[in-house]
Amino acid sequence: MRASEQALVVRDLRKRYPKVEALKGVSIALPKGEIWGLLGPNGSGKSTLLKCVAGLLQPDGGEIEVLGLPPSREAKAEIAFVPEVDTLYRWMTVRQVLDFTAAFYQDWQEETAGELLEFMRLDPEAKVSSLSKGMRARLKLILALARTAPLILLDEPFSGIDPSSRDRIVEGIIRQFKGEEQTMIISTHAVGDTEQLFDAVVFLDEGTINLQGNAEDLRTRWGKSINDLFKEVFA
């Protein structure tokens, strides 16, 4: 792994779908050790940006560097990506999902996975198909947090989830995030309950960045919470 001051650098990133330009020259630089909120309404390009970083979409232009690495197999090993959709094999048990994931990542922490399983109140023998949406979201989060991946990307982790699961997820993130070694991006359009997590935020709208900066600085400068700022920007 190459040494890099930044966990993630995105320069002039462009991505076009047949009917819409999802990203119109997005540039961000994320220092190591912070949790960033990627905020914006549905269709603003949040998921597209995260998928490009995770190597699941090929940008039409611009550059991406993950810890100094271009998108590659090597970079994928450094990223823990949790997409919004259910990506779990439904016939697997919770234990099988963990074992499957563990086999592919050298940074997998078996002990942490066990602790998180208990904390998230999941039965290791339960089949994924029998889990509720909230439980599946918690399981997906374990797959990311049980690793010491330098870059964690969570795409709408709170979408359509009951409040108790949401609280568990927020608490899980706070407990497990290793500030010195890790950087996290959480995309969401539900800012209220998650504002406390963010060190910095990026407001994305129709593929362009409206506003970005340190969360505390923005609160001081605008005299309002990030949630209120979000409502104002996207009103």
Applying CB under 8 A, the residues found at the interface with other proteins are 17-18, 48, 51, 54-58, 73-74, 76-77, 79, 81, 83, 85-92, 96, 99-100, 103-105
Q: Which is nearer to other proteins, 105 or 198 (CB)?
A: 105
Q: Which is nearer to other proteins, 7 or 191 (CB)?
A: 7
Nearest approach, Cβ of 76 to other proteins (angstroms)?
A: 4
Q: Which is nearer to other proteins, 29 or 85 (CB)?
A: 85
Nearest approach, Cβ of 119 to other proteins (angstroms)?
A: 23
Q: Which is nearer to other proteins, 54 or 215 (CB)?
A: 54
Nearest approach, Cβ of 56 to other proteins (angstroms)?
A: 5
Nearest approach, Cβ of 20 to other proteins (angstroms)?
A: 11
Nearest approach, Cβ of 218 to other proteins (angstroms)?
A: 31
CA distance 13 to 169: 30
Q: Which is nearer to other proteins, 63 or 217 (CB)?
A: 63
